[in-house]
Amino acid sequence: MSGRAPRKLSEAEFIGSAEARADIRLFLVFGPDESAVAEIAAKMCSSFAEDAERIDIDSDQLRKDPALLADEAGSLSLFGGARFIRLTIRREEGLEAIENLLAQERDGNPVIASAGDLKKTSKIRKLAESHPRALTHICYVPDEGKMAPLVARMAQEAGLSIDRSMAMRIAQATGQDRRLAAIEIEKLALYYDAASGNAKTVEPEDFEALCAENDEENIGMLVNRVLGGDMRMLGSELASVRQTGIDAIRIIRALQRRIAMLMGLRGKVDAGQSPDNVVNSPAIFWKEKPAIKTQLMRWPSARLARLNGHILETEKRLMQVKAELGGVILEEELTRIARAAARAR
């Protein structure tokens, strides 16, 4: 018997398995790319017949009643048709319920479960990845280069023609968020009155005019103030984000993505390239280049590595507290980071 690890399923294969794999009780999709997680879970649910009965459960319910999941998965539909469970997992709540589900020997209704960024130490993740009656799929946040082909496909399906530069611009403007990218593509398709089979070419100035000042733009401005050490404007940016009610986790993950970008760019600077040459890349939107250059100058590789570790710890703290307290913790941490950047002038 071979000890080789099973091949990882592609996104399309994982989605198709919801209908094709009757032997699987739990389908778990998770990862830091929350937009992709939500989209994949939605596509899996839509693969069932329209008259299929859907039961929604979250892990808070399972914490109070660990037998609920297995009971619902083993129950017949009220009208005798297909039935499936849509489970939303928060943190490690629901582990006992999932153990009960997978311990059931008889076939039952499939469970489509989604979660956030479950780490390798997560007991739920370990259980699902090792159990023969569970399938998992992890969604990582793509960089602009990997997101651009997906944006291009969205545009083609909507009857639009965009080049790689425009696809990367849309990916960057939407923070590599599939949902936001789809919204921008939809707006462009309406503007051009586009239709499949009659492709309309998107002009950069039209996209700039239509690009909404959405939450991601507000977050991007805040990230630039923090990592650039702009203490003078930081207060107003924090107030703006607080007023719009943007979730603290979204902000901390946007910061993580920018730090990851800076670490890659900083490696090129350490290898001998000038910051000017490094930021002169089509992957970086021209409006962002001055801010990113400043951040490269403020954050050497060693400091970026320490900052990345600190941000991961901050994310863990935010996941363990209520939303109101999370906002306070986040603002304190962002202010500390901005002060550190300011001292690097």
Q: At 146, phi and psi to the nearest 5?
A: -80, -30
180 & 220 share domain: no
Q: CA 234, 240, 245: angle at the middle one, nearest 5?
A: 125
Element (H, E) at 26: strand 26-30
Quote the pLDDT of residue 337: 95
Same domain (yes/no): 194, 240:
no
The answer to whether residues 130 and 21 belong to one domain is yes
Confidence of residue 80 (pLDDT cuts 50, 70, 90): low
The answer, yes or no, to whether residue 24 has pLDDT greater than 70, is yes
CATH of residue 331: 1.20.272.10
> What pLDDT is attached to residue 213?
47
CA 253 – CA 173 distance, rounded (Å)? 15
Find residue 137's DSSP bridge partners: 29
Spatial separation of the C-alpha atoms in residues 170 and 184, rounded to whole Å: 8
What span, in angstroms and rounded, lies between the C-alpha atoms of 118 and 90? Answer: 10
Question: How much is the average pLDDT of 149-153?
Answer: 90
Question: Two tokens at 251?
Answer: 């902000």
Distance, CA of 132 to chain centre: 27
Question: Residue 2's pLDDT is what?
Answer: 44
pLDDT at 25: 94
CATH number of the domain to which 178 belongs:
1.10.8
Instruction: Tell me what percent of the residues of the chain surpass a pLDDT of 90.
Output: 36
Name the most confidently modeled range: 105-109, 115-119, 237-241. Answer: 115-119
Give the structural domain span for 188: 144-210
CB 269 within 8 A of CB 278: yes
Residue 88 inside a domain? The answer is yes
The DSSP code for 7 is P
pLDDT, one tens digit per residue, over 281-320 is 776 777 888 999 999 999 999 999 999 889 988 988 888 7
Name the domain boundary from 91, 115, 138: 138
End residue of a domain, out of 105, 122, 138 = 138
The residues near 150 (Cβ < 8 Å, ≥ 6 apart) are 142, 171, 178, 181
| Confidence band, pLDDT 50/70/90 cuts, at residue 177 | confident
pLDDT at 1 over 60: no
Q: How confident is the model at residue 230 (pLDDT cuts 50, 70, 90)?
A: very high
Is residue 171 predicted with pLDDT exceeding 70?
A: yes
- CA 196, CA 189: separation in Å to the nearest integer? 10
Q: How many domains does the chain have?
A: 3
- 192 and 221 both lie in a single domain: no
pTM of the model: 0.58
Banded pLDDT at 217 (limits 50, 70, 90): low
Would residue 318 count as lying in a domain?
yes
- Whole-number Å distance between alpha carbons of 258 and 222: 11
